[in-house]
Amino acid sequence: MTENPNTPAASEPQQRPLVELRGVHKEFGSLPVLKGCDLTVREGEVTVLIGPSGSGKSTLLRCVNQLEIPTAGAVYVDGVLQGYREQPLADGRLQRLKPKEIDAQRSRIGMVFQRFDLFPHRTALQNVMEAPVHVKGMPKAQAQAQARDLLARVGLAERADHYPSELSGGQQQRVAIARALAMEPEVMLFDEPTSALDPELVAEVLQVLKDLAQQGLTMIVVTHEIGFAREVADSLVFMDDGQIVEQGPARQLIDAPRSERLKDFIQSVL
Amino acid sequence: MTTPEQAPADRAGTADAIPGRIRAREAARPGTWIAAVIVALIAAALINFLITNPVFEWGIVAQYILDVKIIQGVGWTLLLTFTSMLLGTVVALIAAVMRRSDNPVLRLVSWVYIFVFRGTPVYTQLVFWGLFTVIVPKIAVGVPFGPELFSFSTRDYFTGFLAAVLGLGLNEGAYLAEIVRAGLGSVNRGQTEASKALGMSNSLILRRIIVPQAMRVIIPPLGNETIGMLKTTSLVLAVPFTLDLTFASNSISTMLFKPIPLLIVAALWYLAVTSVLMVGQFYLERYFGRGFDDRAPSRSRQKNINRAKTTPKDPLPQVEL
């Protein structure tokens, strides 16, 4: 199995790597949060990141779409280095991309946040239309039709004209998923999408995630829902103290964790 | 059972849905009545004083309240207020955005502007702008320290009105810049991150996401500032600009040797215009408050959800995992 994105493994049964993190370190000031993480997510795969709070899951996720800039290491999406020119300068330094180029890279990666972060001054429909119209320049009529389709897909066709403040948490999160899907991302990042929800609203959001996984969307999900991970994820990544401690097929790892730390963690969240 | 045609009061009165609905007499609250009586007495005394005191000369007030010079003064005052507020708001937005910029030069420029224009009296600034044609008699455009392309005399273009608007607007801009800055800062950081994750550029995020939400916070103090500006325009005689309401009423009162009734004329007009501005502010607040409805967030959110009826019979099936 090859790890190099420049020579896609066409002959191999596995899909090509879509997201690759290589030796990613991140420090906030002098506080190390990520201590050298390597991760490969293949096209169509669902990867679930678990680990105790403060272990660096969210930071790792946010490095993928450059909401955090790694202190060391590299992030590749679809074989393209994120944030810098591939070719180093003559003096060995990297050339940072222009803001416009970074925005373009981000627009191909969808993200869903713990606190939904819908635009409160726009209706559900307008939330979903915003980026296609103003980032992609899609005609309004087309964007509206697409937004209605997407809202129907997450079961909210009838809520299109409601403001976020008029929706329950689960509904808001589903609108947020539709909003991210509207940019037709190659990969979707979910940062604890159900952690801010009342227990009875968690299922409806997980159902949407499950549907998306079945449709073959590449997803990286930070969550504490072990049941969801076991059922839906292809691969599971267990992080602790800024490092990836264990990774492998989700079901196998959950049912028979190799490391003590993962065993303890699964015990504590089940 | 009640029918939909019945008034809400009737429905509450029948109380058949809940058995044993509590019916109670309110505890006595005499304070309201005592206060009402005291206020009524004071108000009556005040009205009597206003009517019977001869110095108010209500006849002269009635005679001049619709005087052409006064009405024109109201018009000029309104024009000054709106153009200076417009200039001030535009300048404030630019200054506030510059204050938040990553570019240290822009941050410094904005800081210096706010420091100078907020730190000196508006009266001084108006006198300065009035003397602008003396300080800068000629404006030339050309290569810096090099040849001149064209030039014009400031005296030909720099009218009293322009000087007044620049003086009031630039002073106001420095105050508003801080209000706008607070407004921009009030928008949740998550909004910027969510927009960035969608690939939106910084300018797009500012224009489409941050500013519209900041307006909700900015509008009430902006309305306050507009009402303040309405009255600050009375200082434009420092320029000198001599067509506004205060100057018009003062000049009539000097002519008639009757200062008190003319002061009342001016005061009544300022009050009338303020009332109209308050109505405008109400509609602006409602427009920018859309999606935010009430003050108490947790209680009002449940109220919004209930009113919108978004939760019952939600179409997405429940799943067990």
Residue of chain A nearest B216, judged by CA positions: A121
- Fold exhibited by the domain B57-289: MetI-like fold (1.10.3720)
One pLDDT digit (tens) per residue for chain B, 321 residues: 444 444 444 444 555 688 888 989 988 889 999 999 999 999 999 999 999 999 899 999 999 999 999 999 999 999 999 999 999 999 999 999 999 888 999 999 999 999 999 999 999 999 999 999 888 888 888 888 878 888 888 888 888 999 999 999 999 999 999 999 999 999 999 999 999 999 999 999 999 999 999 998 999 999 999 999 999 999 999 988 999 999 999 999 999 999 999 999 999 999 999 999 999 889 888 888 877 754 444 556 677 777 777 766 565 655 444
In tens digits, chain A (270 residues) has pLDDT values of 444 444 444 444 568 899 999 999 999 999 999 999 999 999 999 999 999 989 999 999 999 999 999 999 999 999 999 999 999 999 999 999 999 999 999 999 999 999 999 999 999 999 999 999 999 999 999 999 999 999 999 999 999 999 999 999 999 999 999 999 999 999 999 999 999 998 889 999 999 999 999 999 999 999 999 999 999 999 999 999 999 999 999 999 999 999 999 999 998 887
Tell me: the pLDDT tens digits for B77-135? Answer: 999 999 999 999 999 999 999 998 889 999 999 999 999 999 999 999 999 999 998 88
CB–CB contact A167 B212 (8 Å):
no
Instruction: Determine whether the interchain pair B199/A183 forms a contact, defined as Cβ–Cβ distance below 8 Å.
Output: yes
Residue contact A180–B197, C-beta within 8 A:
yes
CB-CB: which of A106, A163, A208 is closest to B199? A106
Both tokens assigned to B24:
């109670």
User: What pLDDT does B321 receive?
Assistant: 42
| Cα–Cα separations (whole angstroms), residue A268 to A261, A264, B228 | 11, 6, 61
Contacts of A121 in chain B (CB under 8 A): 212-213, 216, 288, 290-292
State the SS3 of chain B. CCCCCCCHHHHHHHCCCCCCCCCCCCCCCHHHHHHHHHHHHHHHHHHHHHHHCHHHCHHHHHHHCCCHHHHHHHHHHHHHHHHHHHHHHHHHHHHHHHHCCCCHHHHHHHHHHHHHHHHCCHHHHHHHHHCHHHHCCEEEEECCCCCEEEEEEHHHHCCHHHHHHHHHHHHHHHHHHHHHHHHHHCCCHHHHHHHHHCCCCHHHHHHHHHHHHHHHHHHHHHHHHHHHHHHHHHHHHHCCCCCCHHHHHHHHHHHHCCHHHHHHHHHHHHHHHHHHHHHHHHHHHHHHCCCCCCCCHHHHHHHHHHHHCCCCCCCCCCCCC
pTM, two decimals, is 0.82
Distance between CA B314 and CA A170 in Å, rounded?
A: 11
Instruction: Please say whether the beta carbons of B99 and B269 come within 8 A.
Output: no
The ranges assigned to domains in chain B are: 57-289
Q: Which of B190, B200, B311 sits opposite A131 (nearest CB)?
A: B200
Q: Within 10 Å of residue A95's Cβ, how many Cβ atoms?
A: 11
> CB distance A106–B288 less than 8 Å?
no
Residue B170: closest CA among B242, B114, B99 = B114
Identify all chain A residues contacting B196, using CB atoms and an 8 Å cutoff: 67, 103, 106
Chain B interface with A: residues with Cβ < 8 Å: 188, 190-191, 193-194, 196-202, 204, 208-209, 212-213, 216, 288, 290-293, 300-301, 304-305, 307-308, 310-311, 314-321
Q: Which of A117, A167, A208 sits opposite B310 (nearest CB)?
A: A167
